[in-house]
Amino acid sequence: MDNDYDVVIIGGGAAGLSAALTLSRARRRVLVIDAGEPRNAPAGHVHNYLGRESTPPAELLSIGRAEVHQYGGEIRDGVVTAVTGASPKFAVETADGRTVSARRILATTGLVDELPDIPGLAEHWGSRVLHCPYCHGWEVRDQPVAVLATTGMAAHQALLWRQWTPQVTLLRHTAPAPTPDEVARLDRRGIRIVEGEVVSYGADGAHLADGTIVPVEALVAMGRVTARAAFLEPLGLAPAAFEAHGVPLGTHLPSGPAGTTSVPGVYLAGNVTEPMATVIASAAAGVSTAGLINMDLVLEDAA
Claim: this prediction has a pTM higher than 0.85? yes
Same domain assignment for residues 99 and 229: yes
| Containing structural domain, residue 204 | 116-221
pLDDT confidence of residue 246? 84
Same domain assignment for residues 138 and 217: yes
Same domain assignment for residues 98 and 120: no
Same domain assignment for residues 138 and 107: no
Same domain assignment for residues 197 and 275: no
Nearest to 193 by CA among 204, 179, 211: 179
Q: Are strands 4-10 and 30-34 parallel, antiparallel or unpaired?
A: parallel
Same domain assignment for residues 16 and 139: no
Q: How far is CA 275 from CA 58, 79, 278, 291, 292, in A?
A: 20, 21, 9, 22, 21
Last residue of some domain: 195, 221, 247? 221
3-state class percentages of the chain: helix first, strand second, coil last, to nearest 5: 25, 30, 40
Question: What is the residue-averaged pLDDT of the chain?
Answer: 95
CA pair distance 124, 249, nearest whole angstrom: 21
Q: For the domain that residue 259 is a member of, what is the CATH number?
A: 3.50.50.60
Last residue of some domain: 200, 221, 242? 221
Last residue of some domain: 202, 221, 240? 221
Same domain assignment for residues 283 and 162: no
Neighbours of 258 (CB within 10 A): 16
Same domain assignment for residues 13 and 53: yes
Q: What is the pLDDT of residues 128-174, one digit of tens each?
A: 999 999 999 999 999 999 999 998 889 999 999 999 999 999 999 98
Q: How many domains does the chain have?
A: 2
Q: What is the pLDDT of residues 167-211, one digit of tens each?
A: 999 999 988 889 999 999 999 999 999 999 999 999 999 999 999
Same domain assignment for residues 122 and 209: yes
